[in-house]
């Protein structure tokens, strides 16, 4: 294995793969070749089309629309239908039917009345208003008993004992809902909760003078989560102390600063080729530094660590992460599947399975939106921030402060050296807090590009990124 770390492959947006050949200087040279991709799923055949058309003309229903022959149709029910009121409703309906049948049995004694009461009653039948019965003589009553009596005529009057309040058992049978109580009604602490004082929400403190309330403007946008945005980023800043990284190169005999920079330069190329999110790249770099700060490795494993870190970051941040074989291919098949999976396990154990790392790119998104930064200025800030990934001296810097310093440097390059109250409020940093970081970033981007570290500069020299890498940098800063 080349001691300079075999840098490898590039995959462009059309699925072409460039096989990167390692040279003596450790640079990247590309040769393009096609990579076979799995075929897309096929379209519907002509036979399916003819069958569907025939069914529509003849008015036939497709067999697939119903339940399959070999399977029984499942019963439609709610998610908790077996343990909710569905069972109770069935039981209650049965009780009511029993009571009605007994009521009909008691109201008449003829066979025809019993026959009428045994018929099922439709739920949609309504009981009409009962009118007074005409008095009839004894012979007429006997004659009436021989006639067929309808169900509605056989209903008892409102004075029937079955509806009287004296019959507790009958009332319970008819109104089963009275026997049920809610959780709060059956709870012994109901009275305590009712007597507890209601806490009135304290009014939100006003913003300092000159600060634009960005979250107030975005309160109608559900994707901005303006109600929680400020708390989220304050929580991010609190968690930064959990991921502090010391300068570990002195503890790595086989890894140097330049090798780390070459690895990150190659990862930027992979991120651009796979069209990954920028957060994925920043997270992968953080995973590498956290792992190397705790584990001593050989130089021939450095690229495996980088590709595995990208693989982990993709699983955390991407909607459709690339496959394991894709990461093995960009390494020119220098490693096996088992080695990558074992490295993934070792990295996750070393960093404690905690991937919710505060990233400088996430802070930059927040600052740029609150300051209503233009797209060109935001792209220039992203270029500065992405260049800082390769700078080993910024390894132990705060991500939130680094994002604020990159944004301040952009404003200075654009000719506006003011740090507005809005940026100071949402970033939490004054201009004096960012002074040293701004000068360090300015010195970093002012240096001429190295031959084997040109990926980021070439990326941001494209028209898609407004060619911000070609913007002239002033020699001195007016701050």
Task: Domains for the chain: give ranges and CATH numbers.
Answer: 94-117+137-154 (no CATH), 222-244+358-479 (1.10.472.10), 252-357 (1.10.472.10)
Q: Tens of pLDDT along 240-295?
A: 999 999 999 999 999 999 999 999 999 999 999 999 999 999 999 999 999 999 99
- The predicted structure's pLDDT at residue 144: 44
Report pLDDT for 209: 86
Tokens of 397: 């810097």
What are the strands of the beta sheet with 16-22, ordered from one edge? Answer: 10-11, 16-22, 28-34
Predicted local distance difference test score (pLDDT) of residue 292: 97
Element (H, E) at 32: strand 28-34
Nearest to 270 by CA among 7, 2, 4: 7
Q: Which candidate, 278, 343, 334, 279, places its Cα nearest to that of 308?
A: 343
Partners of 19 in the beta sheet? 31
Task: For residue 91, give the 3-state DSSP assignment.
Answer: helix
Residue 17 is classified by DSSP as E
**Which 8-state DSSP code applies to residue 110?**
S
Q: What would the two tokens of residue 426 be?
A: 């949402």
Greatest alpha-carbon span in the chain: 124
Model pTM?
A: 0.60
Cβ(404)–Cβ(441) under 8 Å? no
Overall residue count recorded for the chain in this entry: 479
Instruction: Read off the tokens for 275.
Output: 């069209």
Q: For residue 308, what are its two tokens? A: 């595995």
Regions of the chain short of the pLDDT cut 70: 1-205
Coil, strand or helix: which one is 10?
A: strand
In angstroms, the CA 97 to CA 113 distance is 16
Which residues are CB-neighbours of 94 under 8 A, at least 6 positions away?
none
Residues β-bridged to residue 18: 10, 32
Q: Could you tell me the CA-to-CA distances from 324 to 60, 113, 309, 344, 354 in Å, in that order? A: 48, 78, 12, 11, 21
Tokens standing for residue 306: 């980088």
Please tell me the predicted confidence (pLDDT) of residue 89.
45
Coil, helix or strand for 18? strand
Spatial neighbors of 370 by CB under 8 A, at least 6 apart, are 212, 214, 422, 423, 426
Q: What distances in angstroms separate CA 335 from CA 146, 338, 341, 466, one per listed residue?
A: 97, 8, 11, 38
CA distance 328 to 451: 26
Q: What are phi and psi of 186, to 5 degrees?
A: -85, -5
Quick one: pLDDT at residue 207?
87
**Which residues 6+ apart lie within 8 Å of 329 measured at CB?**
9, 11, 17, 35
Q: Which of 477, 237, 267 is nearest to 390 (CA)?
A: 267
CB 8, CB 266: distance < 8 Å:
yes
Name 214's Cβ contacts closer than 8 Å, sequence gap at least 6: 226, 369, 370, 372, 422, 426
């Amino acid at each position: 294995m080349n001691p300079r770390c075999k840098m490898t492959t590039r995959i462009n947006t059309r699925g072409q793969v460039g096989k990167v050949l390692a040279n003596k200087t450790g640079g990247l040279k590309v040769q393009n070749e096609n990579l076979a991709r799995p075929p897309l799923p096929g379209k519907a055949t002509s036979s399916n089309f003819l069958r569907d058309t025939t069914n529509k003309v003849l008015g036939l229903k497709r067999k697939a629309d119903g339940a399959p022959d070999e399977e029984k149709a499942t019963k439609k029910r709610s998610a908790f239908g077996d343990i909710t009121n569905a069972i109770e409703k069935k039981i209650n309906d049965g009780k009511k039917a029993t009571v009605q049948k007994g009521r009909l049995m008691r109201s008449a004694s003829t066979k025809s009345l019993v026959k009428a009461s045994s018929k099922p009653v439709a739920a949609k039948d309504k009981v009409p208003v009962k009118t007074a019965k005409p008095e009839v003589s004894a012979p007429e009553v006997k004659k009436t008993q021989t006639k067929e009596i309808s169900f509605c005529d056989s209903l008892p009057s409102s004075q029937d004992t079955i509806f009287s309040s004296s019959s507790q058992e009958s009332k319970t049978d008819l109104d089963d809902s009275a026997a049920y109580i809610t959780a709060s009604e059956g709870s012994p602490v109901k009275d305590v909760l009712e007597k507890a004082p209601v806490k009135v929400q304290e009014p939100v403190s006003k913003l300092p003078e000159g600060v634009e309330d960005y979250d107030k403007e975005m309160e109608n946008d559900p994707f901005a989560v303006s109600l929680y945005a400020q708390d989220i980023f304050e929580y991010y800043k609190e968690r930064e102390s959990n991921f502090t990284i010391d300068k570990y190169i002195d503890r790595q005999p086989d890894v140097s600063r330049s090798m780390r920079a070459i690895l990150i330069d190659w990862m930027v190329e992979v991120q651009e080729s796979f069209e990954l999110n920028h957060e994925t790249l920043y997270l992968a770099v953080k995973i590498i530094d956290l792992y190397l700060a705790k584990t001593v490795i050989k130089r021939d494993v450095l690229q495996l660590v980088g590709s595995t870190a990208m693989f982990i970051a993709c699983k955390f941040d991407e909607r459709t992460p690339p496959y394991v074989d894709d990461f093995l291919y960009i390494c020119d098949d220098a490693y096996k599947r088992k080695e990558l999976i074992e490295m993934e396990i070792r990295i996750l154990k070393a960093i404690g399975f905690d991937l919710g790392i505060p990233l400088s790119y996430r802070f930059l998104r927040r600052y740029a939106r609150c300051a209503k930064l233009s797209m060109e200025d935001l792209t220039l800030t992203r270029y500065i921030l992405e260049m800082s990934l390769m700078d080993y001296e910024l390894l132990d810097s705060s991500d939130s402060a680094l994002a604020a310093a990159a944004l301040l440097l952009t404003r200075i390059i654009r000719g506006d050296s003011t740090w507005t109250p809005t940026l100071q409020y949402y970033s939490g940093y004054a201009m004096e807090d960012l002074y040293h970081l701004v000068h360090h970033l300015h010195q970093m981007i002012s240096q001429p590009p190295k031959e084997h570290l040109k990926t980021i500069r070439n990326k941001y020299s494209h028209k898609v990124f407004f060619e911000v890498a070609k913007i002239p940098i002033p020699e001195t800063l007016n701050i």
